């Protein structure tokens, strides 16, 4: 008898003795760990949404202290993301997940990485808020708060889609990326017009343009999560960010 055949026979005998296969016996524990991981990723998404809202407020209200709080809180976000990654690695190594379960775990891993990067964008906006607070006041382009609002709504919807593995919700998230891109183009035109009309405000216009750029990139990363959910739901890889 060949080695593979011997292994198969021993596995069959072990199953007959135990009355259950190892994956089945591990399943309740695996489901608990998966639920815990989903909760941690949702918590990570909530932290990023809060950071984005605070960063926007700091920018609009020239609130240096609030911007500082966003920056200091980012380390807790980074630590949560590292913990999620470690838990996913341990779960894959110890729980014998099936192929679909592995895809879900890797989807959560990728979502956590995208969320961590979104948190960095919120920090960057906070830094711009602090720079603008030290300069002569210039009204914030109205498109920027709208961009931040759409990004928060996208993020919240993406987290729901990820938990539900909902293709419909994920596609709706990705479709809103065009709205953010359109607003970013409007900020670009407004910044150019401001610099031409008031060269002395070039720095403030540039800071706002960078803030809008960070929001546009954040929306792209939310769309990446949406694409992952579409893959989990359908098995198809699609580019929904073009």
State pLDDT tens for residues 46-82: 999 999 999 999 999 999 999 999 999 999 999 999 9
Q: Under a CB-based contact definition with an 8 Å cutoff, are residues 233 and 165 in contact? A: yes
Give the pLDDT band (50/70/90) at residue 242: low
pLDDT for 177: 95
CATH topology of domain 27-234: Methane Monooxygenase Hydroxylase; Chain G, domain 1 (1.20.58)
pLDDT for 12: 41
pLDDT for 14: 40
Which whole number is the average pLDDT over 34-40? 93
| Cα separation, 61 vs 187, whole angstroms | 19
pLDDT for 21: 40
Q: Under a CB-based contact definition with an 8 Å cutoff, are residues 157 and 172 in contact? A: yes
| Cα separation, 228 vs 230, whole angstroms | 5
Task: Count Cβ atoms below 10 Å from residue 7 Cβ, excluding itself.
Answer: 11
Which whole number is the average pLDDT over 23-44? 83
| Cα separation, 38 vs 44, whole angstroms | 10
pLDDT for 94: 87
| Cα separation, 225 vs 75, whole angstroms | 22
Give the pLDDT band (50/70/90) at residue 26: low
Q: How far is CA 27 from CA 42, 98, 155, in A?
A: 22, 10, 30
Exposed e or buried b for every residue in 63-82, given b needs 16+ CB within 10 A? beebbeebbebbeebeebbe
Looking up tokens 């979502």 gives 111
| Cα separation, 132 vs 220, whole angstroms | 25
- Residue 166, SS3 per DSSP: coil
Task: Count Cβ atoms below 10 Å from residue 1 Cβ, excluding itself.
Answer: 8
Which whole number is the average pLDDT over 15-29? 51
Q: pTM value?
A: 0.87
| Cα separation, 109 vs 111, whole angstroms | 5
- The mean pLDDT value of the chain amounts to 89
Asked if residue 163 has pLDDT above 90, the reply is yes
In angstroms, the first-to-last Cα distance of the chain is 55
Residues 6+ positions from 189 with CB-CB distance below 8 Å: none
Give the pLDDT band (50/70/90) at residue 142: very high
Q: Length of the chain in residues, anyone?
A: 242
pLDDT for 118: 98
pLDDT for 158: 97
Give the pLDDT band (50/70/90) at residue 98: confident
CA angle 134–138–141, rounded 5-degree value:
125
Task: Spell out the domain ranges in the chain.
Answer: 27-234
Please return the burial class of 205, using the count of CB atoms within 10 Å of its CB with bins 0-12, 13-18 and 19+.
buried
The region of weakest confidence among 115-119, 172-176, 233-237 is 233-237
Give the pLDDT band (50/70/90) at residue 28: confident
Q: Under a CB-based contact definition with an 8 Å cutoff, are residues 200 and 168 in contact? A: no
Which whole number is the average pLDDT over 130-141? 94
Give the pLDDT band (50/70/90) at residue 3: very low
Residue, of 20 and 68, whose pLDDT is higher: 68
Task: Using alpha carbons, select from 128, 117, 144 the residue that is nearest to residue 215.
Answer: 144
């Amino acid at each position: 008898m060949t080695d593979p055949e011997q292994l198969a026979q021993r596995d069959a005998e072990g199953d007959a003795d135990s009355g259950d296969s190892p994956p089945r016996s591990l399943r309740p524990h695996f489901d608990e760990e998966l639920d815990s991981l989903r909760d941690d990723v949702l918590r990570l998404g909530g932290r990023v949404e809060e950071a984005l809202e605070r960063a926007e407020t700091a920018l609009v209200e020239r609130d240096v202290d609030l911007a500082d709080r966003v920056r200091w809180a980012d380390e807790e976000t980074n630590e949560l993301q590292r913990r999620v990654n470690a838990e996913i690695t341990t779960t894959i190594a110890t729980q014998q997940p099936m192929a679909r379960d592995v895809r879900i775990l890797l989807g959560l891993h990728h979502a956590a990485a995208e969320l961590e990067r979104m948190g960095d964008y919120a920090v960057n906006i906070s830094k711009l808020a602090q720079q603008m607070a030290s300069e002569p006041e210039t009204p914030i382009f109205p498109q920027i708060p709208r961009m931040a609002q759409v990004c928060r709504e996208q993020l919240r919807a993406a987290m729901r889609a990820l938990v539900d593995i909902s293709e419909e919700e994920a596609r709706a998230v990705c479709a809103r990326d065009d709205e953010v891109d359109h607003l970013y183009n409007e900020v670009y035109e407004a910044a150019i017009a401001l610099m031409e009309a008031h060269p002395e405000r070039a720095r403030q216009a540039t800071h706002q343009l960078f803030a809008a750029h960070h929001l546009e990139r954040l929306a792209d990363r939310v769309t990446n999560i949406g694409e992952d959910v579409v893959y989990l739901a359908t098995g198809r890889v699609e580019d929904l960010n073009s």
